[in-house]
Structure 1
Amino acid sequence: MEECACLCSVGSSRGCRCPQKRQRPVEMAAADGKRAPAKKHIEGDVAAWCCAGSGGIASPMPAPHCSLQDLPVEMLVEIFAWVPGTHLPRLSQACTKFHHILHIDSIWRRRCHEEFGVRENLQNLEMMGMSYREVYAKLFPYRNILGLWQLDNEYYRTLVNVVVDGFCITGWKYRPSLHTHVGGPIHFKPSFRIRLTERKSATVECMEGLDSRPHNRHMQIQKDRFTTRCKNTDHGTDLPTWLREEGGPVLEDRQQYDWLTYRRLYLPPRHPDDLIRPGLFQYYYDAFGLKIAMLSFHGKYARVTKITGVSKKTLEIHLMRRIQLRDGEIFHNFNELSRVVQEIDEQVIREQQQQQQQQQEDGTEESQGHGWQSPAQPSVGESGAAALEEQPVPFVLPVGVRSRDQNYPQTCRMCFYGVDTVTLPGLAYHRRFPGVFILFDENHFGFIWLEAKYFFLCGRVQNSFQNVEAPSPQAFLEMLKNIQSWFT
């Protein structure tokens, strides 16, 4: 016997169309030329009951003659509105009914909202003579550029956030400020815009230049990167001023600015044992405005990777080498603090040399650095909960230590040994600065360069970003390695 699985009486007043319900068990048996046994009577009644009961809910065994096409149009519209837009074109090819339903604009309105964050109302769109289906079709080729990017000029890197603004896609470029505290909001200015309201195709406009007058820009999109090209001569006037403000060299070749490369940035994944929530932080590195760096945790180590600016800067924190504070007294005695850090630094160098020697003897490749462990591994030692429970101690800058930001917290929770490595562009060597990583609270940390007697205060970036989750811990790790290679 074929079981009933149709979606009966849903949105219909004609009742059930199921053959099992219209025929009695005896009539079904007569069709086969024999009398049905008693068991067949029972099964036929159960089949008719499963079709008519429970408001027409289908049984687990679907019948070939029952299909999705039997549902009313209103219900199919609601179902299709939850299907990802990438699957809808194939669904429209299933039958003529589905093809016509998928021209209903409410389906594409929800897809634009769910996938791209478009929040405009239907009335505004109708005034432009467009449909949400057209908007989705224009958004779709640019879906992979939404999120955070690092703009890679030859001598300067900065942050770009690409978002959907109404019926445009805008690339907002980070602009450092000289008058903002590290805990304040970061500032952006529009760099480019993709207009989606054009009748034929989306138009890419450049908004850079001295007067920021929009003009055409060519865009080429690849996996995890895209490039733009613009021939406007205003860039040649604007760029030297921008770089001179940042303390970098002046570029005379305008073509180096006309071709711009953007590389994908992911925010670090979070683990419950991290000392604090990883993410983006801003700090004063010099007198030319705030810089942005990324804090991430990798097992026994944490890393602070510079995202914007001229030089390459990577801070590696050894979470297994904690410096005891003794109620903060160690900060009052700079010589004692230097002695403690120097002893740890000498021990770390000896261990690294022994490790390299052992690797050479074993014929294995040299390690890429202690901090390049998978972010999925839990932090060893102090957990995030332990950091919150740690009693704060007074913090003061040691005598003789300079700082660009004097508005630092007055208490701290933990200190660790760390090494800050700085490489200037065009130079083959790098400088190594051992020092003290200071954890103040959930939103602030600092680092003291002991040799240079300089203190950096880092505050969490409070801006929220979309489309910044890494598809896997390995993808995030690969991104961090690529950031380092971009500077060399």
Structure 2
Amino acid sequence: MECACLCGLGSSRGRQCRQECQGPAEMAAADGKPALAPAEKHVEADVAARCCAESGGIASPMPPPHCSLQDLPVEMLVEIFASLPSTDLASLAQACTKFHHILHTDSIWRRRCREEFGIRENLQNLEMISMSYQEVYAKLFHPYRHILGLWQLDRAYRTLLNVVVDGLCITGWMCKLSLDTHVDGPMHFKASFRIRLTERKSATVECMEGRLSRPHHGHILIEKDRFTTLCKMTDHQADSLAWLWGGQSWALVKEDSLTYRRLYLPPSHPDDLIRPGLFRGNCDAFGLQIAMLSFHGKYARVTRVTGTAKVLEIHLMHRIQLRDGEIFRNFNELSRVVEEIGKQVILEQQQQQQGDGTEESEGHGWQSPAQPSVGEFGAAAAEEQPVPFVLPVGVRSRDQNYPRTCRMCFYGVDTVTDTLGSGFTFTCRLPGVFLLFDENHFGFIWLKAKYFFLYRRVQNTFQNVEAPSPQAFLEMLKNIQSMP
């Protein structure tokens, strides 16, 4: 290969190769003697081609006039096909018989399994179930690839489900809603279902719920941005819910199906106040909950993704100056400042609605998270000098292990949506103070109830959580907020 390439480039080694391939007649022509006839040139060209081929080069330094992909060697086609996404391989298999046979090469599918799904199983494990990488891809990864990622249980007792590739299985891990008050503790997961390959060469769905945790047969129905698990055993759901709530005895619902909605993590921008993502907080009496922090231009949003529907609006244009923490020494003074900012926010929203009505038409200013946030705050957050912080006298908190320094504070509104038994839905908007402690901690003081909530960043990493578009992410946020 090197010889042929270099021959075409005219390097010193290439000239040496051509001299070795030249016949006596051509050497004479080079010395000023008569050149060879056209027919003799053709014969000598074939000899030169064979010489380059025997030395490791390509048969011809120049491609034929009508060269196509089919003319390439099989080894080269295998390497090319292995680098293509699986969506292109299906079309290539229908192009011609040669491509169809080449795509049965297992090394192609081994690379697809490794690059697309991170599987690094050895051949011995596959031989135990008498299966090839192509079969693993076709029977397991391809039909169930759409359920990989992070999901939210579509029920009032919402929780998270993380579906991942686990060797030659796909496993759904359900997050436990801990009753602990410490946000720094680890997240606990339990296997809810798994999809595995058997010796019958078919993917089997197994439900992992149950009082004895014995796997049993189940089904999965996949739709766009949601899927449903089906199981004939209805009594195991009670045990699952009791596990979710730390073994407490609640009014449990027995169901034979569970539906999950897809969750996307918010994209980040250099001008964001801090890096967006998932945070754990001691939000209410039901224990630690998980919320999502995202930025939308002049606003930030903390959307609870587990537990009851709850949204915290952060007005980045209305900052509360700390003055070395003095403002928090007097709760009445803090309440007065927040009340004045609240009146100003309402006035601005009314003026905006009377104006063009585009940005604040619903009392919100949510922009796409892909758009830049208020850059001055994002840059200032990194340079802001922390000041001492203590909770105002009379403010309660379930977690006393909060940071003792704070960087920035903003006006915020805690919005709680609930549905009564009659089907009537009400929304309560409660003002407060959003506190940015550091990159991994923030809090909110609910002034009316004199209560403090602490949030800490979730350190777990999740795969397949990128939104396909900013619009898809915003639509997901609306669905979370509308869920009671």
Indicate yes or no: 2:336 matched with 1:342.
Answer: no
Which of 296, 299, 308 is the aligned partner of 1:298? 296
> In the alignment, what sits opposite 1:470?
467
Q: Note the C-alpha offset of 1:321.
A: 0.1
- CA gap 1:64/1:249 in 2 versus in 1, 3 angstroms: farther
Q: How does 1:142-221 map to 2 (within 5 A)?
A: 142-153=144-155, 155-179=156-180, 181-221=182-222
Measured against aligned partners, the alpha-carbon deviations of 1:76-131 in whole angstroms (never above 9, x if no partner) come to: 22221111122223223333333332222111111011111212111211122111
> In the alignment, what sits opposite 1:27?
38
Amino acid across the alignment from 1:307: V
Amino acid across the alignment from 1:140: H
Q: How does 1:310-329 map to 2 (within 5 A)?
A: 311-329=308-326
- CA gap 1:337/1:246 in 2 versus in 1, 3 angstroms: farther
Amino acid across the alignment from 1:129: S
User: Following the alignment from structure 1 to structure 2, what is the Cα–Cα distance between the partners of residues 267 and 404?
Assistant: 27
> In the alignment, what sits opposite 2:439?
442
User: RMSD of the TM alignment (CA)?
Assistant: 3.3
Which of 398, 412, 420 is the aligned partner of 1:418? 412
Measured against aligned partners, the alpha-carbon deviations of 1:35-90 in whole angstroms (never above 9, x if no partner) come to: xxxxxxxxx9xxx9xx99x965999x975532333333332222211111222232
User: Following the alignment from structure 1 to structure 2, what is the Cα–Cα distance between the partners of residues 124 and 365?
Assistant: 57
Measured against aligned partners, the alpha-carbon deviations of 1:444-472 in whole angstroms (never above 9, x if no partner) come to: 10000001001011000000011111111
Which of 256, 259, 270 is the aligned partner of 1:261? 259
> In the alignment, what sits opposite 2:361?
367
Secondary structure of the structure 1 residue equivalent to 2:373: coil
Q: Note the C-alpha offset of 1:367.
A: 2.1
Secondary structure of the structure 2 residue equivalent to 1:446: strand
Amino acid across the alignment from 2:275: R
> In the alignment, what sits opposite 1:39?
none
> In the alignment, what sits opposite 2:448?
451
Q: Note the C-alpha offset of 1:214.
A: 1.2
User: Following the alignment from structure 1 to structure 2, what is the Cα–Cα distance between the partners of residues 475 and 430?
Assistant: 25
User: Following the alignment from structure 1 to structure 2, what is the Cα–Cα distance between the partners of residues 246 and 305?
Assistant: 27
User: Following the alignment from structure 1 to structure 2, what is the Cα–Cα distance between the partners of residues 384 and 197?
Assistant: 52
Unmatched runs of 5 consecutive residues or more in structure 1: 1-5, 17-23, 32-43
Q: Note the C-alpha offset of 1:197.
A: 3.1
Amino acid across the alignment from 2:159: T
Amino acid across the alignment from 1:305: T
User: Following the alignment from structure 1 to structure 2, what is the Cα–Cα distance between the partners of residues 95 and 8?
Assistant: 33
**Would you say the 8 A contact 2:178–2:244 is kept in 1?**
no
User: Following the alignment from structure 2 to structure 1, what is the Cα–Cα distance between the partners of residues 175 and 395?
Assistant: 30
> What TM-score comes out, normalization by structure 2 length?
0.84
Q: Note the C-alpha offset of 1:485.
A: 2.0
- CA gap 1:58/1:326 in 2 versus in 1, 3 angstroms: farther
Q: Note the C-alpha offset of 1:250.
A: 2.0
Measured against aligned partners, the alpha-carbon deviations of 1:351-379 in whole angstroms (never above 9, x if no partner) come to: 333444557xx8x8982442421112211
**Would you say the 8 A contact 1:148–1:265 is kept in 2?**
yes
Amino acid across the alignment from 2:287: G
Q: Note the C-alpha offset of 1:216.
A: 1.5
User: Following the alignment from structure 1 to structure 2, what is the Cα–Cα distance between the partners of residues 95 and 25?
Assistant: 42
**Would you say the 8 A contact 1:204–1:218 is kept in 2?**
yes
Which of 358, 368, 383 is the aligned partner of 1:389? 383
**Would you say the 8 A contact 1:159–1:308 is kept in 2?**
yes
User: Following the alignment from structure 1 to structure 2, what is the Cα–Cα distance between the partners of residues 162 and 198?
Assistant: 23
User: Following the alignment from structure 1 to structure 2, what is the Cα–Cα distance between the partners of residues 9 and 130?
Assistant: 45
Q: Percent identity?
A: 74
- The farther-off stretch of 239-248 and 105-114 is 239-248
**Would you say the 8 A contact 1:7–1:57 is kept in 2?**
no
User: Following the alignment from structure 1 to structure 2, what is the Cα–Cα distance between the partners of residues 103 and 192?
Assistant: 31
Q: Note the C-alpha offset of 1:183.
A: 2.9
**Would you say the 8 A contact 1:246–1:289 is kept in 2?**
no
**Would you say the 8 A contact 1:403–1:456 is kept in 2?**
yes
Q: Note the C-alpha offset of 1:475.
A: 1.4
| Residue-pair matches, total | 446
Unmatched runs of 5 consecutive residues or more in structure 2: 9-16, 19-34
Indicate yes or no: 2:349 matched with 1:352.
Answer: yes
Indicate yes or no: 2:380 matched with 1:378.
Answer: no
**Would you say the 8 A contact 2:176–2:245 is kept in 1?**
no
Amino acid across the alignment from 2:367: Q
> What TM-score comes out, normalization by structure 1 length?
0.83
User: Following the alignment from structure 2 to structure 1, what is the Cα–Cα distance between the partners of residues 37 and 406?
Assistant: 85
Q: Note the C-alpha offset of 1:292.
A: 0.3
**Would you say the 8 A contact 1:438–1:445 is kept in 2?**
yes
Q: Note the C-alpha offset of 1:9.
A: 10
Q: Note the C-alpha offset of 1:258.
A: 1.9
Amino acid across the alignment from 2:312: L
- The farther-off stretch of 433-442 and 219-228 is 219-228
**Would you say the 8 A contact 2:176–2:243 is kept in 1?**
no
**Would you say the 8 A contact 1:244–1:250 is kept in 2?**
no
